[in-house]
Structure 1
Amino acid sequence: MRESGENYLELILDISREQDSVRSIDIARRMGVSRASVSKALSVLRDAGMVEPAYYGKVVLTEAGKKRAAEIRCRHELIHRYLVEVLGVPQEIAEADACRMEHVVSAEMLSCLRAALEQ
């Protein structure tokens, strides 16, 4: 899955934790993109089995989508924590960098980060 698809999954998960339902307009506003862009991205995610077909404008993650989104969120939080707690990177910079790094970091690297944070 491409980075943009992972960003959509992560955002859908985040919004679903904050409010009862997720609508495409919520995603568009948060990402600063058009509803047409969101519609196209959701179509790709639907084809990949990550989101349910839209009913009444609501966006719902499938079980596979929830799992993938949770994995992405976990990678993001682990990287962010390491950047802030170990390296002393300011929060805002750590947030932006973690968002980029979460898509390319290996499982081995994540294990090393986790081990370093547990010490």
Structure 2
Amino acid sequence: MENYLEAIFNLGKEKRVVRVKDIAKRLGVKMPTVTNMLKTLSERGLIDYEKYEYLELTEKGSGVGEEIDRRHHVLRSFLADILGIDLEKADEEACKMEHAVGAPTMDRFVLFMEFIQSCPRTGENWLERFEEFRAHGKDREKCLEHMKAFSNEFGGRIKDMETEEVSQDGT
């Protein structure tokens, strides 16, 4: 069901109107299969749909579709940008993951990705920083403070390593 809502949500952003054949093509299923699912979605108040007409998401359906789309983008970003997985494969895997992971776990994962994207360099204790971020949200000042501490902490170590490397090369 979530695949249908996500497809309708994205088709609605791409086209003026969403039709059964567009959904069937997007999901790789037959039109009667789409029609059956649209009845279910309509009964649940997620879409406005009359047979042989265009359809659109209700406010409730749009909210669900938007959330599924957000999950997909976060997962795809993690897989492609952090793990270095090919974008096409990352997209395929994200689609599977977004439906398999429970809401609390997914919410935590989404927060983790938002944290990585907004404050990526926080030193060796980044898990503690993530816990702060999760508990209190994005705090630009805290992020800057952590980055400065990271810079101070590792600036000396970098110089030591460079000095050590030069002395090893020279002997």
Q: Please indicate, yes or no, whether the TM-score normalized by the shorter chain is above 0.5.
A: yes
Partner-residue secondary structure (3-state), 1:22:
coil
Give distance in 2, aligned partners of 1:95 and 1:80: 5
| Larger RCO (CA under 8 A, 6+ residues apart) | 1
1:88 corresponds, among 75, 84, 96, to: 84
Runs of 4+ in 1 over 6 A off after TM superposition: none
Give distance in 1, aligned partners of 2:50 and 2:81: 40
Matched, 1:46 2:42: yes
Matched length: 115
Residue equivalent to 1:64: 60
More helix by share: 2
Give distance in 2, aligned partners of 1:112 and 1:16: 29
* RMSD (Å), alpha carbons: 1.3
Partner-residue secondary structure (3-state), 1:60:
strand
Give distance in 1, aligned partners of 2:12 and 2:34: 16
Normalising to structure 1: TM-score of the pair? 0.90
Q: Deviations 1:62-116 (Å, cap 9, x if unpaired)? A: 0000010000000000111111111101101100000011113321122122212
Structure 2: stretches of 5+ with no match in the other structure: 121-171
Normalising to structure 2: TM-score of the pair? 0.64
Calculate percent identity across the aligned residue pairs. Answer: 34
Larger radius of gyration: 2
Matches within 5 A, 1:16-27: 16-27=12-23
Structure 1: stretches of 5+ with no match in the other structure: none
Residue equivalent to 1:109: 109
Partner-residue secondary structure (3-state), 1:52:
strand
